[in-house]
Amino acid sequence: MAGIIEPRTLSGFMELLPQDQVVFEKIKNQLEKIYLQYGFYPLDTPILEDSRILLAKAGGETEKQIYRFTKGDTDLTMRFDLTVPLAKYVAKNYSDLTFPFRRYQIGKVYRGERAQRGRFREFYQADIDIIGDGKLSIINDAEIPSIIYSIFTGIGIDEFIIHINNRKVLNGLFSLLNIKDYSADIMRTIDKIEKIGRENVKAEILDMGVSEDAIDKILETITFKGSKEDILNYLGQFTGKDETFDTGLEELTSVVNNIKGFGVPDEYVMIDLAIARGLDYYTGTVYETFITGHPEYGSVCSGGRYDNLAEYYTKKSLPGVGISIGLTRLFHVLSDNGFLNRKHENPIDVLVIPVSDQVENALTVATAFRAAGINTAVYTETAKLKKKLTYANKLAIPFSVFINEESAENVELKNMESGDQVTISVDEAISQILAAKAELGKEKFVEMKK
Amino acid sequence: MAGIIEPRTLSGFMELLPQDQVVFEKIKNQLEKIYLQYGFYPLDTPILEDSRILLAKAGGETEKQIYRFTKGDTDLTMRFDLTVPLAKYVAKNYSDLTFPFRRYQIGKVYRGERAQRGRFREFYQADIDIIGDGKLSIINDAEIPSIIYSIFTGIGIDEFIIHINNRKVLNGLFSLLNIKDYSADIMRTIDKIEKIGRENVKAEILDMGVSEDAIDKILETITFKGSKEDILNYLGQFTGKDETFDTGLEELTSVVNNIKGFGVPDEYVMIDLAIARGLDYYTGTVYETFITGHPEYGSVCSGGRYDNLAEYYTKKSLPGVGISIGLTRLFHVLSDNGFLNRKHENPIDVLVIPVSDQVENALTVATAFRAAGINTAVYTETAKLKKKLTYANKLAIPFSVFINEESAENVELKNMESGDQVTISVDEAISQILAAKAELGKEKFVEMKK
């Protein structure tokens, strides 16, 4: 042997300790559960694809950040998002799919960005999309916020606001102010308003050659404050002048009205005319989600409506609406701020401890526990009793069960937190452990401090 | 737009249609459930690692098959198994782990092999390992078959046999026959006995320069047929002559005896002295699992005991025992042979259909269904009723619910299979749908034809 290689993990690649991984998995499972409840199909696509497929659209910035290489005569790229693979998938399997096609995908994506704290090169995205064939009802745009609401309240993030806008409203506004040619640039600038402030946004747009009057009207509009009704009423002043604007306002109104029907409390949703989602990709409704009191985390769930998912792979018109959660980053933020509920960090319900070296009874009891759906570890190493208990304590296993050589019928059940110890039957032990497990199941995975 | 790029997926990369993906996910979840029941922690390691780490041991064959490239000045490799990353992980986090450390990992690995039917370049492995610090009780080796048993019966594969051997028995035998120097070569040859037959194995070993007497003794031993007791008795003749052999026989006996304690029916386990698991890596117990009547599928779950997990990354002695299931290949075999239970191919429990364009009542009902844990899709597109029903039929959704404009209290529930339709309250509908879901939950994911 030549010697020891220092074991390290690449920077920008999240690799969790076991107790953190448990919480991560529970959050990931919760997302899947909600996606399934909303009628989405799971999907899994390769991490490696032909570069021609993944880079059909990509511009300069994407090219720089990707992991791309050749093997044999194949030019390969590691996927940098889940949207491009979805576009390929839907175009490829068009005739086998039933539309609207609703799919979720939770998977790793790769971006070779400069590594820095909180930025990852390998990270999970959790995406859902609803794809129509030729058309897709605006009701779907109203369903998305209810999914976001269920996801975040489901994992324990209770205070957040979903910001909604419609790109057609902005585009229409630019059009009726005769500054349509600057739309894309203005939107990119508007997107930065939280970061750089109103005055700097104004200066940047002035530099483009847009008149001060037009800028003021835009800034007045996008920073107009009020209830959803107030904002919709305010926007009413522009109707009848531009078709795109009118469509946008109609869509926005429909989305806002239908969100209630999906059971989302009013205070979780706001119209925010200042969010534009820089990407050209979006064509209608757009979403961003901010945790209340924590604008510094950025949007934790974003997305929107697009007219054409797969234009690079098919001539079919495939409009859709979707959102994406950057799960690795979200977990990092929650963990880093001490917001994870530590009660969830252990996956084992009970440790079965044979008090002597005879393990047969312990195995019988463990088998009964597992059959009852209890996650059971058996301590089968030769060790003093104290060491066995230390194992349970270190792993924060809630119960230990001591098994002697005489009986596999009665056991000593020890609650590791309270220290209480009782002699009971295996069936009674099962009941107590399952009851505690059910209690834990009610605990959310995240506890935001007030 | 320059034109359409044909959407394709790289050969050797499994990409399933939605209905197949659903079954795949359910099988994967079942594996996770069982691993958790046996007290294993989830683990997730990066797909990309520093090449120095992943290739610390790798020989020529591995080098050829890997996906390796450089980005900037980093030499990167996509993981080709889950064992090397585990070794790195345990060495790296040694002081933060509690031993025995039990972990499962289900993840994709990459091998750039020549693509052929049933061979994949990207595929899931589902691994478990139990790692000791300095030592690890042989009882763990007896627990592994009970996990294999729970996994396979859990997904619906009822007829299989776990073949067990111990490398020390074979090594000891070679030693006491004075042919120790040929051990590795002989084991590799023995591993092929099913494929090439006894006579060819004999010829190959003769070519190595081993005496015919020794070969005959070895072949007599490894092909000796009988019950576990018969084989252990037969092996008794060699005891007292070689320490390694004696230890191996003791371990094998202990494993076989303790397997019963873990609740595995006798007929699912056999001693098979002919399996050697060619890899040098294993040092004691070895396992292979064959589906009864289908030797052509090869071993669907293999593994064994090793003395030292992480010798390339730490001087600590970390013995362990583990198994791996090639999940992608297993799924391919089951699917290809029509063994998947098609009742599991749809993830949606009910389709809510508004009979008019008014969707509000439909949304209210859908929200109630979801709160009850029912996977609910709402058909919100503008379409004729017939088209809406076609959607439910195409997706094989078991129930449709029709909602009119008058009431969100009473609904028309239609059983899509029987065609029965009843007007009932939302609560009653929930009960019926949940009952059907519970029935489906009893169905296994795999149905092997007799």
**How far off is chain B from A167, nearest CA to CA, in Å?**
22
Helix (H, G, I), strand (E, B) or coil at B440: helix
- Cβ(A191)–Cβ(A298) under 8 Å? no
A179: amino acid identity, one letter: I
- Cβ(B156)–Cβ(B446) under 8 Å? yes
What tokens appear for A31 in the block?
Answer: 């997302």
Cα separation values, B136 from A14, A310, B101, B128, B321, Å: 29, 54, 10, 15, 9
* Cα angle: A200, vertex A204, A209; to 5 degrees: 145
- Cβ(A283)–Cβ(A168) under 8 Å? yes
How much is the mean pLDDT over chain A? 93
Mean pLDDT of A63-89: 93
pLDDT value at residue B258: 92
The H or E element spanning position B270 is strand B269-271
Q: Is 50 exceeded by the pLDDT of residue B98?
A: yes
How many beta carbons lie within 10 A of that of residue A31, not counting itself? 22
Half-sphere exposure of A292 (CA within 13 A, CB side): 15
CA distance A211 to A417: 69
Instruction: Please give the residue of chain B at the shortest CA–CA distance from A154.
Output: B371
CA distance B38 to B129: 11
Give yes or no for B139 touching A (CB within 8 A).
yes
Give yes or no for A122 touching B (CB within 8 A).
yes
- E-state strands within A220-357: 269-271, 285-291, 302-306, 320-326, 350-354
What tokens appear for B325 in the block?
Answer: 């299931």
Which residues 321-360 of chain B have a CB within 8 Å of chain A?
Answer: 347-348, 351, 359-360
Alpha carbon A273 to its chain's center: 24
How many beta carbons lie within 10 A of that of residue A435, not counting itself? 10
Provide CB contacts within 8 A for A434, sequence distance 6+. A372, A373, A374
**B212-225 per-position pLDDT tens digit:** 999 999 999 988 98
Give yes or no for A113 touching B (CB within 8 A).
no
**A371-393 per-position pLDDT tens digit:** 999 999 999 999 999 999 999 99
Cβ–Cβ pairs < 8 A, chains A and B: 255
The label of the residue with tokens 């996509």 reads B78
The H or E element spanning position A41 is strand A41-42
What tokens appear for B370 in the block?
Answer: 């979801």
What tokens appear for B342 in the block?
Answer: 């098609």
Name the residue among A375, A380, A413 with its Cα closest to residue B261.
A380
What tokens appear for A163 in the block?
Answer: 């910001």
Cis preceding-peptide flag for B295 (omega within 30 of 0): no
Name the residue among B91, B99, B62 with its Cα closest to residue B77.
B62
Half-sphere exposure of A391 (CA within 13 A, CB side): 26
Of the ranges A354-358, A397-401, B205-209, the best mean pLDDT one: A397-401
CA distance A213 to A216: 5
Q: Is 60 exceeded by the pLDDT of residue B450?
A: no
pLDDT value at residue B429: 97
Four-point Cα dihedral B307, B312, B313, B318, nearest 10: 0
- Cβ(A274)–Cβ(A202) under 8 Å? no
Which residues 368-397 of chain A have a CB within 8 Å of chain B?
Answer: 370, 373-378, 380-382, 391, 394-395
Q: Is 90 exceeded by the pLDDT of residue A337?
A: yes
Using pLDDT thresholds of 50, 70 and 90, give the confidence band for residue A450. low
- Interchain contact, A7 vs B67, CB within 8 Å: no
Q: Is 90 exceeded by the pLDDT of residue A203?
A: yes
Alpha carbon A80 to its chain's center: 16
Give yes or no for B38 touching A (CB within 8 A).
yes
Phi, psi at residue A311, to the nearest 5°? Answer: -60, -20
Give yes or no for A364 touching B (CB within 8 A).
yes
**How far off is chain A from B5, nearest CA to CA, in Å?**
5
What tokens appear for A65 in the block?
Answer: 């950040």
Using pLDDT thresholds of 50, 70 and 90, give the confidence band for residue B1. very low
CA distance B152 to A209: 69
- E-state strands within A135-230: 160-166
Lowest mean pLDDT across B113-122, B263-272, B304-313, B371-380: B113-122
Mean pLDDT of A262-275: 94
Mutation site for A-interface testing, chosen from B6, B33, B48, B440 by largest number of A Cβ within 10 Å? B48
Give yes or no for A38 touching B (CB within 8 A).
yes
Using pLDDT thresholds of 50, 70 and 90, give the confidence band for residue B190. confident
Instruction: Say which of A1, A21, A381 has its CB closest to residue B42.
Output: A21
pLDDT value at residue A193: 84
Instruction: Say which of B5, B74, B370 has its CB closest to residue A313.
Output: B5
What tokens appear for B231 in the block?
Answer: 């084989």
Name the residue among B238, B241, B268, B274 with its Cα closest to residue B166.
B274
pLDDT value at residue B60: 59
What tokens appear for A142 in the block?
Answer: 């109203």
Helix (H, G, I), strand (E, B) or coil at A102: strand
**B34-91 per-position pLDDT tens digit:** 999 999 999 999 999 999 999 988 665 667 789 999 998 899 999 999 999 999 999 9
Which residues 189-248 of chain B have a CB within 8 Å of chain A?
Answer: none
- Cβ(A65)–Cβ(A111) under 8 Å? yes
